[in-house]
Each structure stands twice: as C-alpha cells, then as structure tokens.
Chain A
Amino acid sequence: MFPRPIQKSSTPAQWLYAVALPVALILWLFPLLGVALTSLRPASDLAQGNYFGMPSGIAWENYLYIFTQTPIGQYMVNSLWVTIPTVIGAVSLSLMTGFALAVYGFRANILVFFMFVAGNFVPFQILMVPVRDMTLQLGMYDTWYGLALFHIAFQTGFCTLFMRNFIKALPYELIEAARVEGVAEWRIFWFIVLPLMRPAIAALSVLVFTFIWNDFFWATVLTQGVDSQPITAGLSSLNGQWIAQWHLVSAGSILAALPPVLMFFLMQKHFIAGLTLGAVK
C-alpha cells in the first residue's frame, strides 16, 4: 500500500493526521460551506454587512421565499422531465449498441465503436447551430422532449463505451453455450446478458442523471421559458434578477445542487465505478 499506513507511524504523526484530515476538509469545502450558511442568513444581516459573523437567526424563510415567489419548483420539475427520460433512453439504446459491439465480430465493429467514442468528446459548439436549427424545424424547441432527445443521442456515445467494455468482460462461454443450444440472438440478449447488466445499468443511470441534471449549455440553447427551462438555466436567469441578494442566490444554488448530491450519496459505489472506468487495468 502507498503511502505507508499511518498506523505504522509514530503516535505524534498519527495525531497530526487525525487533526489534518478535518482541517483539510473544511478548507476544501470552504466556499460551499460559506454558501450553505449564507442561504440560511436573514436578509437583514446582509444589509447590515454581517456576511461572516454570527447570523442573527436562522432564516428558513429564504427557502420559503424562493419556492413561493420564484418558479424554482417548476424549474426542478422541468429538470426531472428532461433527466429521467434521458436516463431511460440512453441506457436502453446503449445496452443494445454495447451488446452488438461486444458480442459480434463483424468487420466494421471497431470503426463503429470508435465513432461512438470519438463523438462523445466533440465540443458541443460544433453541434450547436445544426441541432438548434433541427429542433426548431421539428417544432421541438423549448420543450422537454426536444432537449431530452438530444441528450439521449449524445449520451449514447459514452454509455456505449461503458456497456461494451462491461459486456466484453462477461464470460463469453455463456453466449457460446446458448448458441449451441440454438437460442435466438435476441433471447441471448434478453435472458442471458441483460440480467447480468444490473451493476452497469445502475452505474450509468446515476452518472447520466448527474450529467444531465447539471447540464447548462444545452438547456440554454434549446429552451427558454419557465415552462421548460431546467434548473441550471433557471437559476442563471434568477441570478440575473437577484442582483446581490446573496441569501437567495445561495438558497437557489443549494437547491439545484441537492438532487445530484443525494444521488451520489445513495449510489456512491456505482457512481465511482462508472467514473473510474478504465482507470485501472
């Protein structure tokens, strides 16, 4: 193990480590902690210049205010309307593409695979004008499905890479044996491979959920009104209205951050398994 386990060091070193850990964590999360505290600070404190001192009270009303006086609740619902269909769509499509690329040795296999991988890395801006134009032409501009359809297509690239590598690591004999028995290809997919894919599906679902929930660029390009804008774009426009009302900006930020954070804590193992794909041989 590297570095040497701290338990093998001297007692003072162990004490030092025990102190350094929480201190480092607080420093690391300092900006976030500051914003979390500001979100609960009464507006009067900020007006009097009390930004970092003891708050004069805990102001849950900041949260009440943004829920009742701004469309933030609607924005969060909109986000779900984009995020959940995208997760279902991208995972389903990539289960199939991943299966095709992992199990069949046809000639164009590697070419198709690299196409998905490379497409996944292109800058969004090279897609922006045509995708926006097409979405407009199809009458899907400013709708949740217009945004979700794009996300499904784009995320399929990353998900295919993941699924393909996952299926490749499954024992191939399973598929061979089924073929000898004369099982149809789609049945092999459905009854043999799919039940083994649960960890991969879980990992990709949390990752895609987080990516899409946090997306700002496409939300700006493909939606504009309160009825369809997701939380990221909504928060940005609210920020424009709340000039210097940092207690509101903070409360909004904390709300927008909450769902992916919860997702991460609930599904931590899967989340990290998905992100670190390829980091070990």
Chain B
Amino acid sequence: MAQTTQPVGRRLTQRTLAPWLFLAPGMFMFTVYVLWPIVQSVTLSFYDWNGLYNGQGQFTGTFVGMGNYAELMSDPAFETSLWNNLKWLVLYMLALPIGLFIAIFLNQTVTGIRVYKSLFFFPFVISQVVVGLIFAWFYAPNFGLFYLLTESVFGKGTAILADPDLVTYGIIVAGLWPQIAYVMILYLTGLNNVAPDQIEAARLDGAKGWRMLWYVVLPQLRPATFIAVIVTVIGALRSFDLVSIMTNGGPFGSSRVLSYYMFEMALGEYGFRMGYGAAIAVVLFAIMMIFISGFIWKMWRDEKER
C-alpha cells in the first residue's frame, strides 16, 4: 500500500484540479456552441448585416443601435407572431389537465395495460415533422377527415389551414397531441409514487372523486406538475417545426410565431436580415428567460434543502 499512498499536498491539488479537467471538454463545447453564440446574437441585434463578409474576410455589418428593435415595434408581422406565441403558451397548458386525465384513466392494473400506456405515449416519440404531415392530411380540404367532419356537422367544410383566423389553433392542436402524451407519462410516473397509505386514510375519511384528486393526490403530484409546466412552456415557445411543415407561416403570415418569423427574416426568402432576425431571437430569449429563471430559482432552493 505504501507506494500508492501519495503525500497529502499532492492529493489535495489533484482534488482541486480534477473537477476542472473533467469539466474542460464539456464546458469548452458548451461555451463555443451555446454561451458564446448568445452573446454574439445579442451584439448582432444592434447591427444591420446580410450575413456576408467582404473579400478580406471582414464583417460587413453596420451598427444601427436600437434600430432593429425600433423597427420591431411597428412591424405588424412581429405583432402577429407575438400574439400567436401567446396563444400557443396559453392553449398548450391544456396538455396538463388532459394529460392528467388520460394518466388517471390508464392508471389501472388490468391485463395488457402496459401496452396501452406505451401506445398512448406513441405520438411523443415520432418527429414533429411527421406529426405535422399527419395533421396536414387530417385537415386537408375536400377529403381530410376534419374537413369531412365539419362538412357533415355544419353542412360546409372548414379548411382550417387555409383560414387566417383558425390556422394557429389548428397547428396548436397538432402540437398538443405529442405534448399531452409527454405530460401523461410524467403523471403516470407520479401516480405510481403517490403514497398508498395517505390515499387509504383519506378514503376512510370519506374523500373520493374530485375532492380526493384535489386535496390528496394533486399535492403529491407537485414535482410531476412542475416538470410538466416547464416542458410545456418550452414546447410552446419552440414551436417551429409544425409551423414550418404545415403552413410555412401562412396563409398571409397569419400562423407565424417568433421562432418561425426569426428564421424567415434571417434565412428565408425575404433575404438575409441577420441583425433583424437576431433582435427577434433576443425578444424570444427574454420571454424564455422569465421561465428559465423561475426553474433555476426552484432548483437552487431544492439544492439548499438537501
């Protein structure tokens, strides 16, 4: 043993150095690809830049100060996107009660229930591109199931993706489908861990149905609810894929959201307005930061409790 025991001083330096050596590769990658680009995007939002460099490889942008942000304030497309983002945020929250409802429905021990649970979870596993295509087919005018359904009920079919007033709701429903599945699985795991003795005690006291759910079960599901809110907010604000696949922001730009409008401005057919795009991204980032800070704050509190 004598030869493996090192002097105390050397062991201590090893122990102060070791974490940084383990962290180095991951932190390097994360800094280069995540942290630094955030700083760059914020800087870029004060410039007007078409994404090109001149012959000497120099940046060709011009400083415009708050110009991009001032332009945003009077840009009707930006206003539409912001409103749509709000609709997404609010309506996406429906995933929580619906997901909880399905989880309660499935939380039984009958034969084959495991297969049912995984099949209900299915929509979350497939790509949003595929979800978008599936719902585009579902909504398709003249033969889509949704169109036929509205036709048989109202006598006149609704081509939801071609209707500027309804299109965003149509896309949100498509997005809710996988999101509900995700929330459901979170709640199923939560329900699995609800303390059985508390339920039994409450049952003896005559609690059942809604009262049991509200006063006994939901408080115990709080960790699951917290995660569900976080992933649903992020899902709502990241809504790019579905908009891009189902409508390209149309008709007449009425289904744009910030994430999609940013992409359109920076890389889309309107030309490469990198600075303006960056300004939109900064606004989206600021909205997201509200939720991120809340999450970090709660994590910090939990860490201190340990």
Q: How far is the CB of B111 from chain A (nearest CB, A)?
A: 10
Residue B196 at the chain A interface, CB threshold 8 Å: yes
Residue B90 at the chain A interface, CB threshold 8 Å: no
- Structural contact, A25 and B119, CB atoms closer than 8 A: yes
Residue A199 at the chain B interface, CB threshold 8 Å: no
Q: How far is the CB of B179 from chain A (nearest CB, A)?
A: 13
* Total residues of chain A contacting the partner, CB 8 A: 103
- Structural contact, A24 and B125, CB atoms closer than 8 A: no
The CA-CA distance from A160 to B27 in the complex, in Å, is: 10
Residue A249 at the chain B interface, CB threshold 8 Å: yes
The CA-CA distance from A105 to B280 in the complex, in Å, is: 39
Residues 36-67 of chain A: 1 if any B CB is under 8 Å from the residue's CB, otherwise 0?
00100000000001011000000000000000
- Structural contact, A34 and B34, CB atoms closer than 8 A: no
Q: How far is the CB of A60 from chain B (nearest CB, A)?
A: 20
Q: Is the interface of A mostly helix, strand, loop or mixed?
A: helix
Name A128's contact: one of B11, B182, B258, B266 (CB within 8 Å).
B266
Query: In A119-164, which residues have CB < 8 Å from any B CB?
Result: 119, 121-134, 149-150, 152-154, 156-157, 160
* Total residues of chain B contacting the partner, CB 8 A: 108
- List of B residues within 8 angstroms of A272 by Cβ: 121, 185, 189
The CA-CA distance from A20 to B110 in the complex, in Å, is: 13
Known: A156-B30, A157-B34. 15 other contacts (CB 8 A): A5-B109, A21-B110, A25-B120, A93-B26, A110-B300, A123-B281, A126-B278, A127-B38, A134-B37, A216-B245, A220-B244, A221-B267, A250-B133, A275-B186, A279-B223
Name B residues whose Cβ lies closer than 8 Å to a Cβ of A. Answer: 1, 4-6, 11, 14-16, 18-20, 22-23, 25-27, 29-30, 32-38, 40-41, 44, 51, 104-105, 107-110, 113, 116, 118-123, 125-130, 133-135, 137-138, 140, 143, 145, 177, 182, 185-186, 189-194, 196, 199, 208, 212-213, 216-217, 223-224, 227-228, 230, 234, 237-238, 240-241, 244-245, 258-259, 262-263, 266-267, 274, 277-278, 280-282, 284-285, 288, 291-292, 295-296, 299-300, 303
